Amino acid sequence: MDLFWQQLINGLSLGALYALIAVGYTVVYGIVQLINFAHGEIFMTGAFGAFATWVVMGSPSSMSWQVAVFGMLPVMILGGIIVSVTMALLMERLAYRPLRDAPRLAPLISAIGISVFLQEFVRLFFGDIPGMPDSKRAIPFPNIEGISGRSVSFGNVNVQISALFTLGALVVCTAFLWFYVNRTKTGRAMVATSQDPDTARLMGINVDRVIMAAFAVGAALAAIAGVAQGMRVGNIDFRMGFLAGLKAFTAAVLGGIGNINGAVVGGLVLGVVESMATTFIPGQFGSPAWKDVWAFVLLILVLVFRPQGLLGAKVVDRA
Amino acid sequence: MSRFTSALTIPAEKLEKFQTAAHIGGIVAAALGIVSVLLPWSYAHEALDDVTYSAAPSPLQYNYIGLAVIAVVLFAAPLVLRKPGKARDWVAWNTGARFAGYGLLATGFVGVAAIGIESGGLINVDPGGWLALVAGVVGAVSGLVLFRSPEPSMGRIKTNTIVQIIAIAGGLAAVLFAAAFALGLSGAGAFLFYLTFAAFLALTLVRTGVFGWFAKCAADNKKILVLAAFFVAFVFPFTQNGSDANMSIATQVLIFSATALGLNIVVGLVGLLDLGYIAFLGAGAFTSAVLSGSLYSHIHWHPPFIVTVLISGCVSSFLGLIIGTPTLRVSGDYLAIVTLAFGEIFRITMNNLDGSDGPNITNGSNGINNVPELSFLGFNFGDAHQIFGIQVGRFANYFWLMLLVLAVIMVVFVNLNRSRIGRGWVAIREDELAAEAMGVNTFGLKILAFAGGAFLAGLAGAVKAHYDVSVTPDQYVFLESAFLLAAVVLGGMGTVMGVLIGATILKLLPEKLRFFSDYRLMLFGLLLVFMMRFRPEGIIADERRQLEFHAEDEELAEDVQEELIAYHDHFNPDAVTTEDLR
């Protein structure tokens, strides 16, 4: 039974990571019906932005955990958010906005182009920024005293502090999102636009700004996920966005794309399924090598049996 | 784009008095260009293809002279043909001259830059090189000043069939010669120079309207054109004198093109975005490798290749069915991501079927090596053969086989496109709801396209396994799918010619321009974005497709309508003419 609890908490923390990224897919999709394929790369630039912020602060290494957690970490997260939000807004302005009335294939292909471009751009040029290490190989993520490599035990269940951080970040972000969508003017405008963009425009809503806000919110959450991933794994890498983005999209579909709560639920379910599969599927197919396969098989199964997702999508087939 | 060009436009009345001067300027520029070739361009032998001699142009410089001569003709003709008449209206002299001028500038610039880079500094550029650059600047400025010509009418000239056929033969021979010449160039600078030259020559010919005439010749003699094109491709290995390096590239281009054409059915005709298409190629390759009798394969059944090819195709299309059936029911966006996920599942699975994480079928990440050479009725593809006294090597054999596969795929593609099925596909692409309302079986047709495209990729994969000798999972990563998609998008979705060109560009450039290999992927990403932004219909546009991307273009809409009516009348001569219906 300990194994079950252990895998449950592992899965939940992995799922929280997916959920943070998935929100970005779902918010953008809900408003412009665009799968922002490059969102995984936004997550990656967020992690690199946080790392760069740490370097700019002078690569501080030894400090008490209070300073690390309440001083350095928030600054790093803020730096990551600034970088990822800038990237997302640039992307929206330069690549997606001109294609808003184009056939649906066009922005999707454009998104693939951006994704490849961003990966390669970071790989080739991150190291050229003064003070930054060569990014062609994985870069070790700074050690956050009190979080990195630390864990607490409940009986036989061992919980990484970074996992708790990811879960906590998800809780805080979900609460923030709830407040933002339901209680602020921009958030209400977002809901209105996703329901009917034309009427929203007639009601005086600046649809362009709402779309930008959607990209920005998604990017901010992705940057937090990027920092969480850096602390969990201990290093960051220009390729980290591809698989994470794919999984997060799976999570978004799982929960019902376009539905913010769905993205959170979908992410958690996907994470738990993934970690349970490697433990409880007997035989050779239960080995960790198959874990990604099970995640994608889940995606296909959901599309067969419940294409609207677990919580129901706002739009399933608006082709 | 138009925002930028309109800023550059100078009012017509100001340009009026400079017209004659511009014509003369262009002639002078071209003459300067020809003079420059008689002088050495560079001190260094290693730059371009050795342009250090005076009065002895290198092969590349002969090409440059050709462009200059064309520029002279185009710039001079309007001065001679003062009166309006047929000869004056047939060809768009001014517009052509403008592009010839740009071409002189571009080639001169690339030439000087290549000399500067390849020989370590602009100090090595001789007066000839600088003169060529000056000629280019004068030519481009002269061209910019010229008024645009009216639409050329060469496409409407009635020509004798024999002349047309001779023109087709001549055109294809020129293409063959150019391809062989380009592949024979060794340095990156020389290749880029030639590429610039060829691109601007083609652009000039298109703008003058000469291509319009060629297009008419081609349209009037379609079968001859296709046969001749295949004949040219067939004799290509003979021009290589048994050189394996170029034949290897050419065969890779063919494999890539064949796969891209399969993808073109799915993306170009039906408008379904498949991001895991490489997995179908991989499925074909793995099936064929496992059944090939390689020592590394653990299945000891070795059917003849004909059977293996069909099995490979069927395995691929079966996978296509598995992945397509659930996803084709929901919106197209899901398909893109699910196929992407499927591509990953395929790669991971092939990696895991290694005996420790699953049954041992594919040897995991080591893949299946030593796939034996193909052998048909005693003809071993691995051996070199003497044909007409010319040595043709292993790669040429595979080249011919791939040519055959490509021909099959092209026949399937073109015939499907012109059939009831193809029209159904286009209808789905343009508006799925409307198509369904008109009684098109959208789901069935989508599945057919998806599984059919997968089948074709399986065929190509079966040959690829033998050609590559080894099949490993890491040959079939997502980036390869993205490259295939880029070939389709770059060339022109839904066209055969365009995809062939796109595939050739995407395979050939990285081979010839090794120096930018590190930036290849990044530029490729940018290329996708820019193509979608500025020319989403691709280099060679399918007219109906173009209309989808430029919905407000009335002129284009009329062209397309005319073509459709002509097409309809051609196939239904007894039907009520569409004129009556209007």
pLDDT, one tens digit per residue, over B319-354 is 999 888 877 777 667 788 788 888 888 888 888 887
**Which residues contact residue B426 at a Cβ distance below 8 angstroms, ignoring those fewer than 6 apart?**
B269, B544
Give yes or no: residues B543 and B578 share one domain. no
Please state, in angstroms and rounded to a whole number, the distance separating the CA atoms of residues B304 and B497.
33
Which tokens belong to A313?
A: 């999508």
Give yes or no: residues B279 and B415 share one domain. yes
Q: Pinpoint the alpha helices (H) of B209-357.
A: 210-220, 222-235, 244-264, 277-290, 305-327, 332-352
Please tell me which of the candidates B358, B519, B528 has its beta carbon nearest to residue A112.
Answer: B528
Report the number of distinct structural domains present in chain B: 3
Note down the domain range covering B563: 552-582
Burial label, B573 (beta-carbon count in 10 A; 0-12, 13-18, 19+)? exposed
Give yes or no: residues B513 and B561 share one domain. no
Return the amino acid letter for A86.
T
Which domain-ending residue is among B210, B236, B262? B236
* pLDDT tens string A90-118: 999 999 998 888 877 788 889 989 999 99
Q: Best interface-test mutation with A: which of B529, B552, B553 has the largest number of A CBs within 10 A?
A: B529
Give yes or no: residues B320 and B353 share one domain. yes
Give percent of chain B above pLDDT 70.
86
Give percent of chain B above pLDDT 90.
5
Please state, in angstroms and rounded to a whole number, the distance separating the CA atoms of residues B456 and B449.
11
pLDDT at position B98: 84
DSSP A171-187: HHHHHHHHHHHHHSHHH
List chain A residues with CB under 8 Å of B492: none
List chain A residues with CB under 8 Å of B532: 95, 99, 102, 106-107, 109-110, 113
Give yes or no: residues B193 and B225 share one domain. yes
Which range is least confidently modeled, A11-25, A30-44, A130-144, B207-221? B207-221
Which range is least confidently modeled, B92-106, B118-132, B421-435? B118-132
DSSP B490-524: HH-TT-HHHHHHHHHHHHHHHHH-GGGGGGHHHHH
Q: What is the Cα B531 distance to its own chain's centre?
A: 15
Q: Which residue has the tokens 């007997």?
A: A282
pLDDT band at B12 (very low <50, low <70, confident <90, very high): low
Kindly state the DSSP code that residue B376 receives in the 8-state scheme: E
Return the amino acid letter for B303.
P
Please tell me which of the candidates A116, A284, A297 has its beta carbon nearest to residue B521.
Answer: A116
- Residue B61 pLDDT > 50, yes or no? yes
- Give B446→chain A minimum CA distance, Å: 14
Give yes or no: residues B464 and B532 share one domain. yes
Residue B387 in domain: no
CATH code of residue B497: 1.10.3470
Phi/psi for A154 (5° steps) reads -115, 100
pLDDT at position B247: 82
**Is residue B94 within 8 Å of residue B145, measured between CB atoms?**
no
Residue B4 in domain: no
If you average pLDDT over every residue of chain B, what do you get? 80
Establish how many alpha carbons lie within 13 A of residue B107's alpha carbon, considering only the half-sphere containing its beta carbon: 36
**Is residue A35 within 8 Å of residue A50, measured between CB atoms?**
no
- Interface membership of B497 toward A (CB under 8 Å): no
Give yes or no: residues B53 and B172 share one domain. yes
- Give A277→chain B minimum CA distance, Å: 14
* pLDDT tens string B351-380: 888 777 777 777 777 778 777 777 776 677
Which tokens belong to A140?
A: 């070790």
As a whole number, mean pLDDT of residues B172-189 equals 80
Which tokens belong to B104?
A: 């002189």
Kindly state the DSSP code that residue B238 receives in the 8-state scheme: G
Give yes or no: residues B498 and B437 share one domain. yes
Residue B17 in domain: yes
pLDDT at position B207: 81
**Is residue A17 within 8 Å of residue A228, measured between CB atoms?**
yes
Give yes or no: residues B545 and B565 share one domain. no
Residue B164 in domain: yes
**Is residue B486 within 8 Å of residue B506, measured between CB atoms?**
yes
As a whole number, mean pLDDT of residues B273-277 equals 87
- Alpha-carbon separation of residue B402 from A80, B70, B183, B309 (angstroms): 50, 37, 19, 13
- Give A68→chain B minimum CA distance, Å: 36
Q: Pinpoint the alpha helices (H) of A73-203.
A: 73-91, 105-125, 161-183, 185-195, 197-202
Q: Pinpoint the alpha helices (H) of chain A.
A: 2-32, 39-56, 65-67, 73-91, 105-125, 161-183, 185-195, 197-202, 207-233, 240-255, 260-280, 291-305
Please state, in angstroms and rounded to a whole number, the distance separating the CA atoms of residues A216 and B131.
53
- Interface membership of B532 toward A (CB under 8 Å): yes
Which domain-ending residue is among B192, B208, B236? B236
pLDDT at position A52: 93
- Alpha-carbon separation of residue B517 from A186, A240, B120, B479 (angstroms): 45, 22, 20, 15
- Give B445→chain A minimum CA distance, Å: 17
Which residues 313-332 in chain B show a CB within 8 A of chain A? 323, 326-327, 329-332
As a whole number, mean pLDDT of residues B471-491 equals 86
- Residue B500 pLDDT > 50, yes or no? yes
Phi/psi for B391 (5° steps) reads -75, 125
If you average pLDDT over every residue of chain A, what do you get? 87
More confident residue, B397 or A12: A12
pLDDT at position B175: 81
pLDDT at position B582: 45
Which residues in B87-197 belong to E strands, given as ranges?
none
pLDDT at position B576: 53
Give yes or no: residues B328 and B474 share one domain. yes
Contact: B334, A253; criterion CB under 8 Å: yes
**Is residue B255 within 8 Å of residue B463, measured between CB atoms?**
yes
Which tokens belong to A1?
A: 């039974």
Q: Best interface-test mutation with A: which of B333, B478, B542 has the largest number of A CBs within 10 A?
A: B333
- Alpha-carbon separation of residue B240 from A179, B248, B513 (angstroms): 70, 11, 20
Kindly state the DSSP code that residue B342 receives in the 8-state scheme: H
More confident residue, A103 or A28: A28
Q: Best interface-test mutation with B: which of A94, A294, A303 has the largest number of B CBs within 10 A?
A: A303
* pLDDT tens string A57-68: 888 877 888 888
What residues pair up with B385 in beta bridges, in sequence order?
Answer: B392
More confident residue, B296 or A49: A49
Which domain-ending residue is among B192, B212, B236? B236
- Alpha-carbon separation of residue A186 from A26, A199, A210, A212, A291 (angstroms): 17, 16, 7, 11, 39
Residue B72 in domain: yes
- Residue B8 pLDDT > 70, yes or no? no
- Residue B44 pLDDT > 80, yes or no? no
pTM for the model: 0.82
Give yes or no: residues B128 and B175 share one domain. yes
As a whole number, mean pLDDT of residues A246-267 equals 89
**Is residue A80 within 8 Å of residue A34, measured between CB atoms?**
no
The closest of A140, A249, A187, A168 to A31, measured between CA atoms, is: A187
Give yes or no: residues B300 and B355 share one domain. yes
**Is residue B91 within 8 Å of residue B208, measured between CB atoms?**
yes
